[in-house]
Amino acid sequence: MKFKLFRAPDGSQGGGSAPEAPVISTPVVTHGAGPVGPTKISARDVSVFYGDKQALYDVSLEIPDKTVTALIGPSGCGKSTFLRTMNRMNDTISHCRVTGRIEMDGEDINAKSVDPVLLRARVGMVFQKPNPFPKTIYENVAYGPRIHGLASSKGELDDIVQISLKRAGLWEEVSDRLHSPGTGLSGGQQQRLVIARAIAVEPEVILMDEPCSALDPIATAKIEELIDELRERYCIVIVTHSMAQAARVSQRTAFFHLGRLVETGPTEEIFTNPRERRTLDYITGRFG
Ligand SMILES: Nc1ncnc2c1ncn2[C@@H]1O[C@H](COP(=O)(O)OP(=O)(O)OP(=O)(O)O)[C@@H](O)[C@H]1O
Ligand SMILES: [Mg+2]
């Protein structure tokens, strides 16, 4: 069962009066490392303020579907802030204000009729530090589908848990201990468990904020492989400090500096032939 972004007036998820997303007719184009899907998320003139302090300035960026987009830039340039605008996580910060427009499939995600809880199921998020719930492996994955009513029987829920763990590349390692605590897994396994938890609620977009920075090189390689597989199904946006990682996993790269989007394009182009001097200086390690 798929739920809608908009709640029906009676508060249910299935209302027929919810506005339909327009059909996007952007053609699929091919860039460097592979095909890039049609636009999934479109940010226009997005600015973010923490109290009086402006953290992002008029960022406009098209994020394609079925593609990995990497956000790079020095510490404090606004990467996490921008990532959080795409699932309204900034709403949870009391002194934070977002202006501009962000559309997903042509719908304004900041519209009053959008329920942020449903939005965050469609736009899942994975953080730097793996954050499994203090529950069993099974419960970590089953929790979301249960609260969103995605399974009508225990058997269906079991299937969702199994499929999600398989897609996250973790099933083989945990199938015999589904009822052990998720926190007992290694860091890399915990991160894949968190990805399985995000996948279980049928997201369309997965936001990842430095998902490998707490992991060793082997666990990192596994997550990178997984990201490459996941892009067949999902729109993925990843923040990374590793130029090598951005080059390995992404098809599009956006470079941020001092709260502004300096340059965006196919990853290969950004890394081999950037248009802006500041991008070149950053990717060659002159600052950051
Ligand atoms: N909750 C907050 N309250 C106030 N200011 C914040 C908050 N979160 C971020 N900022 C400020 O906004 C700016 C952008 O921060 P952000 O965390 O988005 O940067 P970043 O590019 O993700 O950095 P890093 O690479 O270090 O994670 C910084 O100046 C930061 O201090
Ligand atoms: Mg950050």
CA distance 102 to 109: 6
Is the Cβ–Cβ distance between 156 and 1 less than 8 Å? no
Domain coordinates of the chain in residue numbers?
Answer: 38-283
What residues line ligand 1, using a CB cutoff of 6 Å? 50, 55, 73, 75-81, 93
Superfamily of domain 38-283: P-loop containing nucleotide triphosphate hydrolases (3.40.50.300)
CB-facing half-sphere around the CA of 26: CA atoms within 13 A: 19
Is the Cβ–Cβ distance between 69 and 230 less than 8 Å? no
Q: Which residue, judged by its Cα, is nearest atom 3 of ligand 1?
A: 50
Q: Give the number of whichever ligand sits closest to the CA of residue 72.
A: 1
- Residue 241 CA, closest ligand 1 atom number: 25
Over its length of 288 residues, how does the chain's per-residue pLDDT go in tens digits?
444 444 433 444 443 333 343 333 333 333 344 557 899 999 999 999 999 999 999 999 999 999 999 999 999 999 999 999 999 999 999 999 999 999 999 999 999 999 999 999 999 999 999 999 999 999 999 999 999 999 999 999 999 999 999 999 999 999 999 999 999 999 999 999 999 999 999 999 999 999 999 999 999 999 999 999 999 999 999 999 999 999 999 999 999 999 999 999 999 999 999 999 999 999 999 887
- Residue 95 CA, closest ligand 1 atom number: 3
Pocket test for ligand 1, best of 47, 52, 77 (most atoms within 8 A of CB): 77
CA distance 143 to 80: 26
Q: Which residue, judged by its Cα, is nearest atom 1 of ligand 1?
A: 93
For the whole model, what pTM was predicted?
0.88
Q: Which residue, judged by its Cα, is nearest atom 27 of ligand 1?
A: 75
Pocket test for ligand 1, best of 46, 50, 242, 282 (most atoms within 8 A of CB): 50
Return the closest-CA partner of residue 193 out of 251, 124, 138, 275.
138
- For 58-127, the DSSP string reads EEEEEEESSSEEEEE-STTSSHHHHHHHTTTGGGGSTTEEEEEEEEETTEETTSTTB-HHHHHHHEEEE-
CA distance 210 to 108: 27
Q: Which residue, judged by its Cα, is nearest atom 14 of ligand 1?
A: 78
- Residue 84 CA, closest ligand 1 atom number: 18
Q: What is the pLDDT of residue 8?
A: 39
Q: What is the pLDDT of residue 34?
A: 53
CA distance 206 to 280: 28
CA distance 82 to 90: 9
